[in-house]
Structure 1
Amino acid sequence: MIVPQSTLRTFTQNIFLAMGCSVEHAHLAADVLIRSDMRGIDSHGVARLSGYVLLWDKKRINPTPNITIVHQTPTTATVDGDAGLGLVVAPFAMQIAIEKAEKYGSGWVSVRNSNHFGISGYHALMAVERDMIGFAMTNASPLVAPTFSNERMLGTNPMCYAFPAANYPPVVVDMATSAAANGKLEIAQRAGKSVPEGWIQDSDGNFTTDPHALKNGGSLLPLGSDREHGSHKGFGLSATVDILSAVLSGANYGPWVPPFVSFLDPPTDPVGLGIGHFLGAMRVDGFRPVDEFKTHMDNWVNRFKSAQKIDPNQGVIIPGEPEFEAEQERTITGIPLVDAVVKDLNELALRFGIEMLH
């Protein structure tokens, strides 16, 4: 099914309103999810809506949070999200980072007591809109085993860096630090397909292509898959995200992070509050004039796009380019939804008395 973004946006806002969110928060939360679908990151868009409702059902999401700054200096802050939607808490924190950057050149905000915040790129791009370099990362449900282990200790722990350009779209490096995001397993599950070898291991630590392996005690693998292919680097990146997002803020870290997935229960011995994020903004003109930087960003993109091709039909893909192209296309054509997602959304519509998708 292809759904116009305006229809899907209204539908999503109505679900958040039915959960008790304010109009402002419902609009913002819907915007984060719809932006994900518009950018072609279907695993983190409205396909996740039923997951947020499930957390709300379990009283793990506060629809009316009192988001507060609990510690700050001129350039840094720690925010307590009061168990609110990460889709709302993270933009609040990024706005603080941007305001600090406007005054002092850079701003850095750690967040505790939050929930899943959608795509990292949404938050990092908030800084780009102000001619700043944006940073956004979060820890997540422990589904990833560190190198040489079969115990789930870390989340997919995404990180994003976003850079403004002049005539080209922003360069956006938005990636999980695992071999694959859990959302890609969910897509494979809905489609009834296997996943590539190297994404996931079974409970004994052997590679498997079964997208349901997590439910049977398996674990995702770090970026690199195994030591011979650099999994220790993925583990190191994931550890960095976990420490900045949670050890620094007072959120739960490592295996204590409360899960987003429905088949796992929260740990009974938490070491912090909720999940954690880390967001940052740096003014480009703190280093050189903005126009000069953007001109050279365009030159950077031009040179990499003109790199010698191995396959004449496949050139270098600039980070963020596929998402930009998807957003342009879906602005015109609408957002494609697979049958399993439509079914989930219509079940929510029936529950909350909202018009179903047709």
Structure 2
Amino acid sequence: MSVKMTNERYSHIDLLKFAIECFIRVGVPRDDARLIADHLVSASLRGVDSHGVLRIPDYIDGVERGYVKVNPRPRILKETPISALMDGDRGFGIPIAMKAVELAIAKARSSGMAIIGVKNLGHVGMLAYYTKKLVEENLLGFACANCAAMVAPWGGSERILGTNPISIGIPVPGGNPIIVDMATSAIASAKVLIALKEGKELQPNIALDRDGRPTRDPKAVLEEGTLLPFGGHKGYAISLVVEILSSALIGGPTSKEVPFHESTQGGFLLAALDPLIFRDKDEFEKDVLRVIDIVKNCRLREGFSEILIPGELEDREYELRIRRGIPIDLETVKSLKAVAEKLGVPFPNKIS
């Protein structure tokens, strides 16, 4: 969840303005710059710091290195009433993924369901951002993506699969939605970098060094080491499915073929489902609440104070950070200030 070594807090409004201006300075159209900035700040507000404002320098670097185009021409390659295959023309992943969201909403409204595949695009960021957009339209959402190889398959000792995240969103009447968003690796790759910045060891049994030996050293993982799938062979199975859905199904690259950079992505798959194709709205909502009530009222295990629903912790963190500001570790502040100086963008003042 949150970055622990946090010595400075910043207003989310100030960070949003800063991020927008940074992306405009490297040639990103204003509307796209706003989408990218809103996405990154939203991730930071939800406590998903690994996909938040710390990505700004990496995204800028991706433009400078030619991994990402600032003025792409995305197009639809193939389309049916319930599906579409898009080519992102190597543009920033976030605005292109939002086009997929808009298309999925329109198709699900008219046909009850939609599935959109997108290949040839940059990093799409936090998948929960997209499933949450679908949930806000009273649709069930699913998203997955593959990325540069960083994970060994179960029994393997080299980078073959990406961290290959998945997200599922379910609307909850009168409350915050259920939002599942997780890497299929034991941890997200960006959290290894955060551990390195903080001088912390990784948890045991989640990573290997370049020789295939277990390690807790984040530096050893980043230097040709590998992460392991979550849940052993079960996580590996899910990761492999995500790999196929994000590459073979839509004609995108495998994780091994994706350039290793924080601004890159393999393929992106998004699905939307209108619950009305199965049941009356009131009946569905009543039963969703009933399931949540059953789960919430489970007898607690020793050491626990409550049962949380997926996404609930992030929603609480969001409210807290809206009030108190977004905490950013000093190493990330330093890298953001370096970008600000290079681009001639004023850096926000910290909250006293």
TM-score, normalised with respect to structure 1: 0.93
Which residue in the other structure is 1:249 paired with? 250
Which residue in the other structure is 1:327 paired with? 318
1:197 aligned onto 2:220? no
1:260 aligned onto 2:251? no
1:317 is displaced (CA, Å) by: 1.8
1:191 is displaced (CA, Å) by: 0.6
Which residue in the other structure is 1:59 paired with? 66
Which residue in the other structure is 1:271 paired with? none
1:72 aligned onto 2:79? yes
1:216 is displaced (CA, Å) by: 2.8
Which residue in the other structure is 2:161 paired with? 154
Within 5 A, what are the aligned runs for 1:182-221? Answer: 182-221=189-228
Within 5 A, what are the aligned runs for 1:280-295? Answer: 280-295=271-286
1:312 is displaced (CA, Å) by: 5.7
For structure 1, which segment, 158-167 or 242-251, has the greater mean C-alpha deviation from structure 2 after superposition?
242-251
What is the identity, as a one-letter code, of the residue corresponding to 2:147? A
Whole-Å Cα distance in 2 between the matches of residues 313 and 223 of structure 1? 23
Paired residues of 1:142 and 1:153 also in contact (CA < 8 A): yes
1:304 aligned onto 2:305? no
1:81 is displaced (CA, Å) by: 0.6
RMSD over equivalenced CA pairs, Å: 1.4
For the structure 1 residues 16 and 148, does the alpha-carbon distance in structure 2 shift closer, same or farther, using more than 3 Å as the test?
Answer: same
Whole-Å Cα distance in 2 between the matches of residues 344 and 124 of structure 1? 30
Whole-Å Cα distance in 1 between the matches of residues 192 and 127 of structure 2? 19
1:215 is displaced (CA, Å) by: 3.3
For structure 1, which segment, 296-305 or 122-131, has the greater mean C-alpha deviation from structure 2 after superposition?
296-305
Paired residues of 2:75 and 2:87 also in contact (CA < 8 A): yes
Paired residues of 1:200 and 1:213 also in contact (CA < 8 A): no
Which residue in the other structure is 1:24 paired with? 31
The alignment partner of 1:110 has SS state of strand
Runs of 5+ in structure 1 lacking a partner? 225-230, 267-273
Which residue in the other structure is 1:6 paired with? 13
* Higher RCO (C-alpha under 8 Å, 6+ residues apart): 2
Runs of 5+ in structure 2 lacking a partner? 1-7
The alignment partner of 2:218 has SS state of coil
1:149 is displaced (CA, Å) by: 1.1
Whole-Å Cα distance in 1 between the matches of residues 243 and 303 of structure 2? 40
The alignment partner of 1:247 has SS state of coil
1:278 aligned onto 2:269? yes
The alignment partner of 1:81 has SS state of strand
1:133 aligned onto 2:156? no
Within 5 A, what are the aligned runs for 1:92-171? Answer: 92-171=99-178
Paired residues of 2:115 and 2:272 also in contact (CA < 8 A): yes
Which residue in the other structure is 1:270 paired with? none
Paired residues of 2:210 and 2:224 also in contact (CA < 8 A): yes
Whole-Å Cα distance in 2 between the matches of residues 257 and 205 of structure 1? 22
1:37 aligned onto 2:44? yes
1:204 is displaced (CA, Å) by: 2.1
Which residue in the other structure is 1:228 paired with? none
Whole-Å Cα distance in 2 between the matches of residues 49 and 295 of structure 1? 42
Whole-Å Cα distance in 1 between the matches of residues 281 and 324 of structure 2? 34
What is the identity, as a one-letter code, of the residue corresponding to 1:346? K
The alignment partner of 2:167 has SS state of strand
1:168 is displaced (CA, Å) by: 2.4
Whole-Å Cα distance in 1 between the matches of residues 303 and 29 of structure 2? 52
Paired residues of 2:55 and 2:262 also in contact (CA < 8 A): no
Deviation string, structure 1 residues 227-247 (Cα, Å, up to 9, x no partner): xxxx22111111111111121
Paired residues of 2:192 and 2:222 also in contact (CA < 8 A): no
Paired residues of 2:139 and 2:275 also in contact (CA < 8 A): yes
Paired residues of 1:98 and 1:280 also in contact (CA < 8 A): no
The alignment partner of 1:213 has SS state of helix
Deviation string, structure 1 residues 21-79 (Cα, Å, up to 9, x no partner): 11110011111111101111001001111111111111110011111111111111101
What is the identity, as a one-letter code, of the residue corresponding to 2:333? V
Whole-Å Cα distance in 1 between the matches of residues 303 and 155 of structure 2? 39
The list of structure 1 runs, each at least 4 consecutive aligned residues, that deviate by more than 4 angstroms after superposition, is none
1:119 is displaced (CA, Å) by: 0.4
Which residue in the other structure is 1:315 paired with? 306
Which residue in the other structure is 1:355 paired with? 346
Percent identical = 35
1:314 is displaced (CA, Å) by: 2.7
Paired residues of 2:255 and 2:266 also in contact (CA < 8 A): no
Which residue in the other structure is 1:269 paired with? none
For structure 1, which segment, 80-89 or 283-292, has the greater mean C-alpha deviation from structure 2 after superposition?
283-292
The alignment partner of 1:160 has SS state of strand
